[in-house]
Amino acid sequence: MPDLKQEIQRRRTFAIISHPDAGKTTLTEKLLLYGGAIQQAGSVKGKATARHAVSDWMELEKQRGISITSSVMQFEYEGYCINILDTPGHQDFSEDTYRTLMAADSAVMVIDAAKGIEPQTRKLFKICAMRNIPIFTFINKLDREARSPYDLMEELETEFGIGTYPMNWPIGCGSDFNGVYDREQGRILAFNEFHRGQSKIQAIQCSLDDTETLDELIGEKLRGILTDDIELLDGAGYEFDIEQVRQGKLSPVFFGSALNNFGVEPFLEHFLKMTMPPLPRLSGEDVVDPFDPHFSAFVFKIQANMNKAHRDRIAFMRICSGKFERDKEYFHVQGGKALRLAQPQQLMADDRAIIDEAYAGDIIGVFDPGIFSIGDTLCDKAQRVIFEGIPTFAPEHFSAIERTDTMKRKQFEKGIEQIAQEGAIQIFHEPFTGVEEVIVGVVGVLQLEVLEYRLKNEYGVDIRRRDLSYEHVRWIVGDDVKPSDLNLTSDTKWVQDFKGRNLLLFTNPWNITWALEKNPGLELMEFSRN
Ligand code: G4P
């Protein structure tokens, strides 16, 4: 019988975030290879999904397994049990991408050394920063021409307002890439033709004073640059402070090349040492200790099955405390009911298996007959835990939709409501207009296509869709504000969400500034707490 404390202690649950093409899939794959979870590179399937154009998506989704298996990957490495959460990108980018970050205890940010911070990295970083989770940076593709490492770190600091601490330092880049200098151990990991793709790279113990050996290894020119760089770094006041790392204020930075499997293993080892086992979560004022033997979990993602023959959905839960056991009865707090979770599954790299038990830090998927909503809590019957809600993230694409068949009102409303409950779309209404149109907001534009497809196929409703030019939404803070009295630009729209909260839709950021300037005291929020 595994010891509860030990099992939880050895778990690490993190998300990998990046802009498409920075190397997230390649890095994930290399990490899985270390854990022996996959046998060869090219097995991580998320990429295939991500690469497909919109038109292929429906077909792919029917073979649902693809995106499900790539959602979470669990593997063992040197006694640790590691859960990697995939954050879908490209056309798959959606609210789910953000919500997945709610289930992680830390994040690894992959950055292309030639490009630096890109738009999707920016969006994802913001969500991680909101939760103050530790963020580790892997600057990738050093085997190609890259920007100066100083530049990259400065960009991270000024744009993200965090400190950075280079754990290693690159020696050249592109065709001149000779490896990295490991600052902690004072040694060199040399990169040359011989090392390409190797899983173990022999570290060469070499003091910076040993000019002869260094010249042999990396040449005189690079040796000169490296010694100057390290002197500068050591003197520049980049202090390492593990507490700052754990509070998300300081990001340890690693340079490497995922494709060449260079710098991945040292990264993994440092990462595991610096990260914590599952973090405590808040339930109201109370702190839920992950080591508390009572099971508790929250739903962070619901995935509908596109196969018409199986109208079921899968609810993904992050276990926050204790141990989950297959046949035990648990309590669904929001539904006020005790239940047994049907066919609990854990998702491995290229497989999924029904599981008998899982521990705090793990992610499980259960069949959902339509009873769960995003943010719901499950727990031992004796407890009533309610985790802090998952915020509603600001949609970035809007469309006005109405049904073409006037007879289908009920089906239309039911469909829209259910799909919104899964968290795939947000619905808004224009107050006092009496218009039958519904305004739908989504984070990823593909969700509009999916909505149209699902309404037709699952609910038999055809819709007319009119995409709108709004790109920004803000919730109005305070119930005493009368939106109709606000001074707004003519292309700003006032709408209400399903809870009757007032929001404003803007076509561009300048109109937001305008609204704030012209209406002193007006407070706007980018996220809404559910
Ligand atoms: P993503 O998941 O973040 O979207 O990125 P992915 O890993 O798919 O990598 C994007 C491209 O960058 C891939 O090339 C991949 O091989 C390449 N790449 C990843 N890491 C490195 C690296 O360290 N050095 C270099 N030079 N390239 C790297 P592709 O040609 O688009 O795909 P493929 O044909 O190689 O699969």
**Overall domain count for the chain:** 3
Residue 78 falls inside a structural domain: no
CA of 276 to the centre of ligand 1 (A): 29
Q: How large is the average pLDDT for residues 293-305?
A: 87
- pLDDT, one tens digit per residue, over 219-228 is 889 988 999 9
Query: What are the phi and psi torsion angles at 365 (to 5°)?
Result: -115, 135
pLDDT of residue 63: 44
372 and 403, same domain (yes or no): no
Q: Rounded to an integer, what distance in angstroms lies between the CA atom of residue 82 and that of residue 63?
A: 26
Residue 45 has pLDDT above 50, yes or no: no
Same domain, 181 and 262: yes
Atom of ligand 1 nearest to the CA of 257: 23
Q: Read off the DSSP letter of residue 176.
A: G
Task: Give strand pairing partners of 464.
Answer: 402
Is the Cβ atom of 23 under 6 angstroms away from ligand 1? yes
Query: Ligand 1: does its nearest atom lie under 6 Å from the Cβ of 22?
Result: yes
Secondary structure letter of residue 333 according to DSSP = T
Q: Is 86's C-beta closer than 6 angstroms to any atom of ligand 1?
A: no
Q: Among 49, 139, 259, which is best to mutate for testing ligand 1, by the most ligand atoms less than 8 A from CB?
A: 259
Q: Choose which residue among 17, 18, 21 to substitute to test ligand 1 binding: the one with the highest number of ligand atoms within 8 A of its C-beta.
A: 21
CA proximity to 446, closest of 417, 427, 467, 463:
467
Instruction: Provide, rounded to the nearest whole percent, the portion of the chain with pLDDT above 90.
Output: 48
Q: How far is CA 431 from CA 419, 477, 498, 499, 515, in A?
A: 22, 17, 11, 12, 19
38-42, 62-66, 357-361, 453-457, range with the lowest pLDDT: 62-66
Residue nearest to atom 28 of ligand 1 (CA): 259
pLDDT of residue 201: 66
Identify which of 230, 378, 300 has the alpha carbon closest to the alpha carbon of residue 83: 300
Q: Please tell me if the CB atom of residue 144 comes closer than 6 angstroms to any atom of ligand 1.
A: yes
Let me know if residue 5 belongs to a domain.
no
Atom of ligand 1 nearest to the CA of 28: 7
Interval between CA 253 and ligand 1 midpoint (Å): 20
Are residues 227 and 166 both part of a single domain?
yes
**In this predicted model, which residue has the larger pLDDT, 297 or 73?**
297
Is the pLDDT score of 49 beyond 60? no
Number of H helices, E strands in the chain: 14, 31
d(CA 124, CA 145): 26
pLDDT tens digits, 143-169: 999 999 999 999 999 999 999 999 999
Range of lowest pLDDT (202-206, 287-291, 480-484): 202-206
Range 168-182 average pLDDT: 90
Residues 357/304, Cβ–Cβ less than 8 Å: no
Please check whether residues 402 and 425 belong to one and the same domain. Answer: yes
Contacts of 272 (CB under 8 A, 6+ apart): 12, 77, 78, 80, 82
| Distance from Cα 23 to the centre of ligand 1, integer Å | 5
Atom of ligand 1 nearest to the CA of 90: 4
* DSSP-assigned letter for residue 477: P
- CB 141 near ligand 1, within 6 Å: yes
Distance separating alpha carbons of residues 254 and 32, to the nearest angstrom:
18
Task: Say which DSSP state 389 is in.
Answer: P
Q: Is the CB of 18 under 6 A from ligand 1?
A: yes
CA distance 107 to 525: 25
- In this model, does residue 364 exceed pLDDT 50? yes
From the list 414, 416, 423, the residue with the least C-alpha distance to 395 is 423
CATH, residue 115: 3.40.50.300
Which of 379, 403, 433 is the last residue in one of the domains? 379
Which of 339, 324, 343, 395 has the alpha carbon at shortest distance from 372?
Answer: 339
Q: Among 73-77, 272-276, 492-496, where is mean pLDDT lowest?
A: 73-77
Q: Tell me if 304 is assigned to some domain.
A: yes
Average pLDDT for residues 225-246, to the nearest whole number? 88
pLDDT band for position 213 (50/70/90)? confident
Q: What CATH number corresponds to the domain at position 338?
A: 2.40.30.10
Tell me, in angstroms, the distance from the centre of ligand 1 to residue 301's CA.
Answer: 28
Residues 303 and 364 in one domain: yes
Q: 346, 379, 412 — which closes off a domain?
A: 379
Regarding whether 487 and 356 lie in a shared domain, the answer is no
Q: Phi, psi at residue 295, to the nearest 5°?
A: -70, 135
CA distances from 355 to 344, 376, 383 (A): 6, 21, 23
In a domain, 257, yes or no: yes
Range among 25-39, 79-93, 511-525 rated most confident: 511-525
Index of the ligand 1 atom closest to the CA of residue 22: 3
Tokens 């000019």, residue located: 211
Name the residue range of residue 421's domain: 391-529
Nearest 10 degrees: Cα torsion 317, 310, 52, 394: -50
Task: Report CA(140)–ligand 1 centroid distance (Å).
Answer: 10
Per-residue confidence (pLDDT) for residue 306, from 0 to 100: 47
Q: Considering the entire predicted model, what is its pTM?
A: 0.85
Residue 502 CB–ligand 1 contact under 6 Å:
no
Q: How far is the centre of ligand 1, averaged over its atoms, from the C-alpha of 123 (Å)?
A: 21
Cα(310) to centroid of ligand 1, in Å? 36
Tell me the C-alpha distance between 326 and 125, whole Å: 35
82 belongs to a structural domain:
no
pLDDT higher than 70, residue 91: no
The DSSP 8-state label assigned to residue 393 in this structure reads: P
Q: Quick one: pLDDT at residue 199?
A: 61
Q: Which of 106-110, 206-210, 244-248, 358-362 has the lowest mean pLDDT?
A: 206-210
Whether residue 495 lies inside any domain: the answer is yes
Higher pLDDT, 351 or 397: 397
Residues 319 and 439 in one domain: no
Query: Is the CA virtual torsion 499, 501, 506, 512 positive or negative?
Result: negative
| CATH number (domain holding residue 508) | 3.30.70.3280
Domain co-membership, 413 together with 352: no
- For Cα atoms 288, 289, 294, give the angle at the middle one, nearest 5 degrees: 80
Q: What is the pLDDT of residues 379-432, one digit of tens each?
A: 998 778 888 777 778 898 999 999 998 889 999 999 998 888 878 889 999 887
The per-residue pLDDT for 90 is: 64
Same domain, 300 and 265: no
Of the candidates 347, 379, 411, which is a domain's last residue?
379
- With respect to residue 422, please indicate whether it lies within any of the assigned structural domains: yes
In degrees to the nearest 10, what's the CA dihedral of 275, 280, 281, 282? -140
pLDDT at 53: 32
User: Is any atom of ligand 1 closer than 6 Å to the C-beta of 526?
Assistant: no
Q: Is the pLDDT of residue 465 over 80?
A: yes
Using DSSP bridges, classify how beta strands 163-166 and 250-255 pair: parallel, antiparallel or unpaired.
parallel
Share of the chain above pLDDT 70, in %: 86
Rg of the chain taking only CA atoms, in angstroms? 25
What confidence category does residue 56 fall into, taking pLDDT thresholds of 50, 70 and 90? very low
What is the distance between the alpha carbons of residues 29 and 33, in angstroms, rounded to a whole number? 6
Give the residue, by CA position, lying nearest to ligand 1 atom 15. Answer: 23
Structure tokens at 431: 């107050």
Q: Average of pLDDT values for 207-235?
A: 87
Q: What atom of ligand 1 comes closest to residue 50's alpha carbon?
A: 4
Protein residue with its CA nearest to atom 6 in ligand 1? 23
Expressed in angstroms and rounded, the spacing between residue 135 Cα and the centre of ligand 1 is 22
DSSP, res 78: T
More confident residue, 63 or 503: 503
pLDDT of residue 208: 83
Measured distance CA(231)–CA(221) in Å, rounded: 16
Q: Which of 321, 134, 132, 129 is nearest to 245 (CA)?
A: 134
Which mutation among 26, 49, 73 tests ligand 1's pocket best, with the greatest number of atoms within 8 A of CB?
A: 26
Angle at 163 between CA 160 and CA 168, to 5 degrees: 115
Q: Report CA(282)–ligand 1 centroid distance (Å).
A: 38
Cα–Cα distances (Å) from 294 to 209, 297, 328, in that order, read 56, 10, 12
Residue 80 lies in a domain: no
Same domain for 418 and 297?
no
pLDDT at position 54: 33
- The rounded mean pLDDT for the chain is 85
Pair (309, 330) in one structural domain: yes
Section 109-138 average pLDDT: 93
The pLDDT tens digits of the residues spanning 304-350 come to 754 555 556 778 899 999 999 988 999 999 999 999 887 777 655 44
Q: Ligand 1 centroid to 483 CA: how many Å?
A: 48
Ligand 1: atom nearest CA of 26 is 7
Q: In 3D, which of 388, 346, 350 has the Cα closest to residue 364?
A: 346
Same structural domain, 300 and 424: no
- Residue identified by tokens 């202090």 is 239
Mutual angle of helices 446-459 and 54-62, in 10-degree steps: 50
